[in-house]
Amino acid sequence: MAAPFFSTPFQPYIYQSPQTTVTPFQILGGESQIVQIMLKSQDKVTAKPGTMCYMSGSIQMDNIYAPDNEGGLWQWIFGKSLTSIVFFNSGPDIGFVGIAAPFPARILPIDLAKFGGEIICQPDAFLCSVNDVTVTSTSEQRPRNVVFGTEIILKQKLAGQGLAFLVAGGSVVQKILDVDEVLVVDAAGIVAMTTTISFQLKHSNPTRRIVFGSESQNQLTAVLTGPGVVFVQSLPFHRLSQRIARSVTSPNLRENPKFFAQIVTFLFLAYVIIVASLVLTDV
């Protein structure tokens, strides 16, 4: 069975590269998935550091630096890893390696050859790859899209003709956009999309946000215009981590920094209204 865009648990698949190389793999688990990749002699898999779950005895592991990473400086500044892990089958028999998602997430196999050889994705979406896949991190140059947040400033581009595995939180929806078709989504929910899609970020009203409060990542919506394919996740990891952190901390509102901002804003608006009413009364 050929590799789909994303798959169901426990289903074995066969990936065939443009060079007719066949690589079997299987995605295991439900919400916290593992991809098990079968490697013939001399085959290799490139993965993010710390994602190896298990491997056969013939697999060798090596830590390498990717010199073609255009965003290496940005990654270093924002605490990102500058290295990748290569799993290499040095034995004569077929081996295997299990790569696990670093958080409760689903794994999406993406055949780049079916997407014109290039997609862009969230900086933490890439998990591992087989064959010809180049991962580069670049910052968004358009001023309207610049946001002071690491996960939004950094973009990750996957290029090549190989098979890439991405991770996404919650449920994953694939949307195929026609020419000039518009889709509005939560910006934090975009896992990956083809480079043919044009997008624009929109900000909510900052004053209203401070007064009434809201989830920080809901402040951004993305307007996507086709043609192209986009993958959307229902529960980004940073949103999950925020909710977990909120549940284990004190529920007292006074310990929430947003509470003080709301109080200050309310007092300032009340002061402005009182002064304006006094001025108008004197007039």
Residue 278, number of CB atoms within 10 A of its CB: 10
Count the domains in the chain.
Answer: 2
Task: Kindly state whether residues 42 and 151 are assigned to the same domain.
Answer: yes
Per-residue model confidence (pLDDT) at position 219: 62
**Residue 6: inside a domain:** no
Beta bridge partners of 177: 228
The 8-class DSSP code of residue 204 comes to P
Task: Kindly state whether residues 216 and 263 are assigned to the same domain.
Answer: no
Task: Kindly state whether residues 265 and 125 are assigned to the same domain.
Answer: no
Task: Kindly state whether residues 274 and 206 are assigned to the same domain.
Answer: no
The dihedral sign for the CA sequence 188, 193, 195, 196: negative
Query: Of 6, 74, 23, 89, which is closest to residue 14 (Cα–Cα)?
Result: 23
Per-residue model confidence (pLDDT) at position 127: 93
Task: Kindly state whether residues 233 and 261 are assigned to the same domain.
Answer: no
Task: Kindly state whether residues 203 and 274 are assigned to the same domain.
Answer: no
Task: Kindly state whether residues 130 and 263 are assigned to the same domain.
Answer: no
At a CB cut-off of 8 Å and minimum separation 6, what does 210 contact?
261, 262, 265
- Cα separation, 279 vs 275, in Å, equals 6
Per-residue model confidence (pLDDT) at position 34: 92
Task: Kindly state whether residues 160 and 259 are assigned to the same domain.
Answer: no
**Residue 235: inside a domain:** yes
Task: Kindly state whether residues 275 and 188 are assigned to the same domain.
Answer: no
Each residue's pLDDT, cut to its tens digit, for the chain (283 residues) gives: 444 444 444 456 666 666 667 788 999 888 789 999 999 988 999 998 889 999 999 999 988 766 544 455 555 555 555 678 899 999 899 999 999 998 888 999 999 988 988 998 887 889 999 988 888 875 544 444 444 433 454 478 899 989 999 999 888 899 999 999 999 988 888 999 998 988 887 776 555 555 455 554 446 788 899 899 999 998 887 777 777 776 766 555 545 556 667 777 888 888 888 877 776 665 5
Task: Kindly state whether residues 146 and 278 are assigned to the same domain.
Answer: no
Class of residue 124 by CB neighbours under 10 A (exposed 0-12, middle 13-18, buried 19+)? buried
- Edge to edge, what strands does the sheet with 106-111 contain? 59-65, 83-89, 44-47, 126-130, 163-168, 106-111
**Residue 1: inside a domain:** no
Per-residue model confidence (pLDDT) at position 208: 52
**Residue 99: inside a domain:** yes
Task: Give the model confidence (pLDDT) of 186-213 as tens digits.
Answer: 888 899 999 898 888 777 655 555 545 5
**Torsion region of 77: left, alpha or beta (phi above 0 gives left; psi -120 to 50 gives alpha):** alpha
- Edge to edge, what strands does the sheet with 95-100 contain? 11-16, 22-28, 34-39, 95-100, 52-55
Structural domain harbouring 187: 11-248
**Residue 5: inside a domain:** no
Task: Kindly state whether residues 226 and 257 are assigned to the same domain.
Answer: no
Class of residue 99 by CB neighbours under 10 A (exposed 0-12, middle 13-18, buried 19+)? buried
**In this structure, what token pair is assigned to residue 146?**
């610049």
Task: Kindly state whether residues 152 and 269 are assigned to the same domain.
Answer: no
**Residue 263: inside a domain:** yes
**Residue 71: inside a domain:** yes
**Residue 42: inside a domain:** yes
Task: Give the model confidence (pLDDT) of 1-25 as tens digits.
Answer: 444 444 444 456 666 666 667 788 9
Query: Of 192, 258, 259, which is closest to residue 229 (Cα–Cα)?
Result: 192
Per-residue model confidence (pLDDT) at position 151: 43
Question: What CATH number should be reported for the domain holding residue 86?
Answer: 3.60.160.10
* Helix locations, the chain, DSSP H: 72-77, 150-153, 206-212, 237-248, 257-282
